[in-house]
Amino acid sequence: MLDVTRVDLSRHTTLRLGGPPGSLSTATHQDEIVQMVRAATEPILVLAGGSNIVVADEGIPGTVVLLRSMGVSVQRDRDGDVLVTVEAGQPWDDVVALAVAEGLAGIECLSGIPGSAGATPIQNVGAYGQEVAETIAAVRVFDRSANAARDMAPTECRFAYRTSLFRHNDRYVVLAVTFRLKPAALSPPLRYSELARALDVDPGARAPLAEVRTAVLSLRGRKGMVLDPVDPDTYSVGSFFTNPVLDGAGFAALRARAAEVTGVDPAAWPAEDGSVKVSAAWLIERAGFGKGYTGGHRGVAVSGKHTLALTNRGTGTTVALLALAREIRDGVRKVFDVDLHPEPVFVGCAL
C-alpha cells in the first residue's frame, strides 16, 4: 500500500479537483481488488475513472483503492447474442469502440462517455436514448457484507433513471460487468431526435453502428462532453444535474409557470406511465444561468458549450464548484419551483 498523503486526488478525477486521501492502493485484477478492500482502513473509496465524483478540497480519510483491472472477453450465447464481459477498470469508451468494430449493437449511443466500465451500472449510465441497464446481463460484485464475490442479475440491481442498488451503497464493489449485445450492422431504432437529425434520419430509424458512434462523438464534442486536454470545458463530471421527472400534475404546474416566465413550453419528453422528463439544461438556461456563467465563483463556470456541465477552469476549488451548483439549483427552484438533483457522487463534501 502506497501512502499518498502529500498527493491529492485531483489527478484521478475528471474535474481535476480533490484533496489527499489517507492512503492509496492500486488493484490490477479482481482478486487484488477483493484483497485490498478487505484489508483497507475505513472509510473506503473505490475509484476508477473518476468521471462522476466530486471530492472535497481537504481530501478524505481512510483508503482509496484505484481500479486498474483491464480486460474484455467475448462469448456467443445460445440464442445468437454475444456476451461481452468487461473488467471494472477498463475504460468505457474502449468497450464501445470494440463493440462497434465487431458489429455488436446496443451501446453505440454511449460513445465518448468518460470513466470506467465498472462505473456504468452504478449510475445506470445513459445518453442519446440508450441506458446500460438495457444490455447488462450480469454484474459481478464483491459483497462486503457476505465477504464473497458473486454475480447479480439485472433485476437484483434495481436499475432506474441514473441510479441503481449500487449508488450511494458501499456494500458492493463492482468487479466486472457482462453486456448482452446483438450482432447487427445497424443500431436499434434511434430514440433521440437530436441524434436522428445529426444522422439525417427520422426518429425510430436505424443507422450503421459506426455512423451512430461518429455522430454521438461529434455531438458530445460540441457540448464539451468528451475529455480533451486543450478544451477549457473538459474538466467536469459531464451532466451535473439529472433531468427532473415530474408526474402529470407537476408538469402541468411547470408548463403554467414556464408560460408565465418564458412564453414557451419547457423542453420535455413524456413517458408511457404519464410522467414527463424535463430538460434540466432548459430550466437552467431559462432561470438565468447561461453558458459560461460564473456568478463570481472563482475558477469555475458553467460550460461554454452546455449548461448542464459545471467546469473547473484550471484554478477552481470544490468549494467554489459547489457554491456555483447551489446557486443554480436554488435559482431554478425559485423561478420554476422544480428541484434539480445532482448526478455525481460527493465524497467528503455535500451540495
> Under DSSP, is residue 283 helix (H, G, I), strand (E, B) or coil?
helix
Please say whether the beta carbons of 301 and 235 come within 8 A. Answer: no
**What's the CA gap between 272 and 65, in Å, rounded?**
41
Residue type, 78: R
If you search the block for the grid coordinates 446481463, which residue do you land on? Answer: 137
From the candidates 16, 140, 162, 220, give the one annotated as an active-site residue: 162
Q: Report which secondary-structure segment, H or E, holds 176.
A: strand 172-183
**What's the CA gap between 123 and 133, in Å, rounded?**
10
Any catalytic annotation for residue 180? no
Of 236, 270, 264, residue with least CA distance to 251: 270
Start-end of H helices in the chain: 30-39, 92-101, 154-157, 193-198, 209-222, 248-261, 280-286, 318-336
From the candidates 10, 239, 303, 329, give the one annotated as an active-site residue: 239
End-to-end C-alpha distance for the chain, whole angstroms: 32
CA 259 to chain CA mean position, Å: 32
Bridge partners for 268 per DSSP: 278
- Burial class (CB within 10 angstroms; exposed 0-12, middle 13-18, buried 19+) of 6: exposed
Please say whether the beta carbons of 63 and 23 come within 8 A. Answer: yes
DSSP track, 43-112: SEEEESS-TTEEE-TT-EEEEEEEE----EEEEE-TTS-EEEEEETTSBHHHHHHHHHHTTEESSGGGTT
Any catalytic annotation for residue 343? yes
**What's the CA gap between 297 and 184, in Å, rounded?**
48
Phi/psi class of residue 213: alpha, beta or left (left: φ > 0; alpha: ψ in -120 to 50)? alpha
Residue type, 33: I
Bridge partners for 23 per DSSP: 63
Catalytic sites, residue numbers: 162, 239, 343
